[in-house]
Amino acid sequence: MTEVILLTEDIRFSLMMSPLLVCCTKRLSNIAIKSNDDEEISCMSMATITMGINTIEAFLLEFSHFTKPYTYTKSFRDNDNISRKYKKLMKKNLEEVFSDVYKLIQFRHDIVHHQPHSKRARSLGTVTNADGALWAAETTEKFVATMLGCPEAKVNKNWIFIKSTGEDFRIRVLSDREIRDELY
């Protein structure tokens, strides 16, 4: 007599917010790049930098929640800055692995915590332009794609985590129709 054993695996699908935020970051950058108005370029480049950092932090939170849930603590969510979150997740220093992300954090800090006496505040002019906006968007996208193991990928708003009962996860891109069917 043959015994049949059924193996089951719990698989969860989770929509991620951070890929949509990457798309928003890229959109802000595109507005800066296509503009002929210096004020709009400056505003959009600062918005791109700020959105880029918010995107990176959102990604780290999602990455923690979906791939290493034991790290997703109240302290991690509420108190840790991006560098500490990255260190807890990856056991490496952010500024050594992603030096451009570290620079982006500094520029964002200079925008939202402006101190006129600071030398760094005077360096904002190097990134509050179309090239700076493009750099911020590319830095953000490269960080997210690299963290997901596909550094050459272009991030799409419809990426999802597919998490199995094991430690493995993978990314899949859903069509807009698949997302509507899942959500509604």
6, pLDDT greater than 50: no
Check the CA dihedral 12-18-21-22 and report its sign: negative
Q: Are 22 and 55 in contact (CB under 8 A)?
A: yes
| Residue 26 CB neighbour total at 10 angstroms | 23
What amino acid is encoded at 58 in this protein? A
Q: What is the mean pLDDT of residues 64-72?
A: 86
pLDDT in tens, 138-164: 999 889 888 877 655 566 555 554 444
pLDDT greater at residue 164 or residue 84:
84
Domain ranges in the chain are 21-148
Can you give the C-alpha Rg of the chain in angstroms? Answer: 19
Q: What is the mean pLDDT of residues 81-108?
A: 94
Residue 32 to residue 45: CA distance in whole angstroms: 6
44, pLDDT greater than 90: yes
Q: Is 138 helix (H, G, I), strand (E, B) or coil?
A: helix
pLDDT recorded at residue 181 = 61
pTM for the whole structure: 0.77
Across the strands, what pairs with 171?
161
Q: Are 159 and 171 in contact (CB under 8 A)?
A: yes
Tell me, rounded to whole angstroms, the distance of Cα 6 from its chain centroid: 39
pLDDT in tens, 107-136: 898 888 776 666 665 666 677 889 999 999
In sequence order, what are the residues at sequence separation of 6 or more whose Cβ sits closer than 8 angstroms to the Cβ of residue 13? 160, 161, 162, 182
